[in-house]
Structure 1
Amino acid sequence: MSATQRRSFMNQATLVPALILLVLLGWIVLSTQLSLWTDQGQPGPGFWPLVLSALGAVLAAVITVRAYAQGRRGDSSAGQNAADPDDLISVSEDDGESGVYEETGRGAWLRPLGILAGLVAFIALMPVLGFMIGLTLFLLFVCLVLIKMPLVQSLLLTAVLMAITYFTFAVFFGVPFPTGLLGV
């Protein structure tokens, strides 16, 4: 691979989904260590993490390959943002009152890498905190730190998502969540 080809692969459009792909592949490996099915024939604690991480890995691989192909064709917009690289954060022009910020330039790396770091921390801390506490902290991190949502909205969204997760998987499907040292 020549230096030009390496540069076309090592841009934001290919590097971020490639890193996410690696994390998801690790999640696939970890989820196979949990039982996929219970003795009663219901999905086990490893079933949905395996399914979701496999789907995410396929999507990340497709995005990575497409971005790499655009870079090889010489599409100058692949991995580049037309905004000034020193413009780190700008308020979205169509709704400046919403408080939702659009990252541009070098700041565009912060959100995807923050999500990647949060996922790695979530996976690493799951044996200690358990799934429910770990997912709650991850969602709060995304809402408060990365998206910069107001506190009340972040708490409400996290509570709704956690309720949906709990009732869908624990109650409806009967899938036990991995517990941590606290037993939660």
Structure 2
Amino acid sequence: MTHLDTLRRSGEATVYAVVAVLGVIAAVVGAGYGMFGEGGRIGPGFLPVVTGILTAILCGAVAFGIVRRAVHHEPEPSIEQVPDIDITGRSERQRVVNLWVVFGLTFVAILLVQLVGFLVAFGLLVLVVSAVVERQPVLRSLAITVVAVAVVYLLFGLFLGVPLPGGLLGLGTEG
């Protein structure tokens, strides 16, 4: 099997290219929100633009490298063989399942924002990921949640003045 056949079958370069395009889209959409607000403050579009650009550059570079290696028949970079079990005792399959669980929980948290507000939805997300997915003790998970919500509120809500949706509970910084 040639390098190009391997490239076609793996789809790795395609995935990185698609994510790079999504980064460009995020940057364009974020720019529509405005990079800066009144008085030169960072606006709601700043973070999407920066992360979109970084995602596009990094994923584009990886996709380009994969294609270049396949076209020029360069060997894959050698990576030291890593055991399937990580330092927390999870197999690769468990790590993949955890990743999908976190994606699902993030989607649910996004849906909850309009109902309970960003800070509450974010806090619930952090608490569930910490306690259930990462299996941290409940008190440690609560402490992590309180610190994470406080940092987000202080950084975005107060320092940067980014309006955080309050949902039906009105526990945000908007308006």
TM bucket by the smaller chain?
A: 0.5 to 0.7
Q: Is 2:20–2:59's contact at 8 Å kept on the other side of the alignment?
A: yes
**CA drift at 1:178:** 2.3
Give the aligned partner of residue 182 of structure 1: 169
Unaligned runs of at least 5 residues, structure 2? none
Q: Does 1:5 align with 2:7?
A: yes
**CA drift at 1:159:** 0.9
Q: Which has the higher contact order (CA 8 A, sep 6+)?
A: 1
Q: Which amino acid aligns with 1:171?
A: L
Give the aligned partner of residue 126 of structure 1: 113
Larger radius of gyration: 2
Q: Does 1:107 align with 2:94?
A: yes
State the alpha-carbon separation in 2 of the partners of residues 63 and 103 from structure 1: 30
Output the TM-score relative to the length of structure 1: 0.62
State the alpha-carbon separation in 2 of the partners of residues 32 and 7 from structure 1: 36
State the alpha-carbon separation in 1 of the partners of residues 169 and 118 from structure 2: 11
CA shift in 2, pair 1:157/1:25, >3 Å:
farther
**CA drift at 1:154:** 0.9
Look up the SS of the partner of 1:145 in the other structure: helix
CA shift in 2, pair 1:135/1:148, >3 Å:
same
Q: 2:63 aligns with which of 62, 65, 86?
A: 65
Q: Is 1:33–1:46's contact at 8 Å kept on the other side of the alignment?
A: yes
State the alpha-carbon separation in 1 of the partners of residues 32 and 24 from structure 2: 13
CA shift in 2, pair 1:81/1:70, >3 Å:
farther
Q: 2:150 aligns with which of 163, 171, 183?
A: 163
Q: Is 1:45–1:178's contact at 8 Å kept on the other side of the alignment?
A: no
Output the TM-score relative to the length of structure 2: 0.64
State the alpha-carbon separation in 2 of the partners of residues 19 and 110 from structure 1: 22
CA shift in 2, pair 1:76/1:110, >3 Å:
farther
State the alpha-carbon separation in 2 of the partners of residues 34 and 71 from structure 1: 39
Look up the SS of the partner of 2:55 in the other structure: helix
**CA drift at 1:65:** 2.8
State the alpha-carbon separation in 2 of the partners of residues 63 and 110 from structure 1: 28
Give the aligned partner of residue 45 of structure 1: 44
Q: Is 1:42–1:174's contact at 8 Å kept on the other side of the alignment?
A: yes
CA shift in 2, pair 1:77/1:131, >3 Å:
farther
Number of paired residues? 165
Identity of aligned residues (%): 26
Unaligned runs of at least 5 residues, structure 1? 84-89, 93-100
**CA drift at 1:133:** 1.4
**CA drift at 1:31:** 4.7
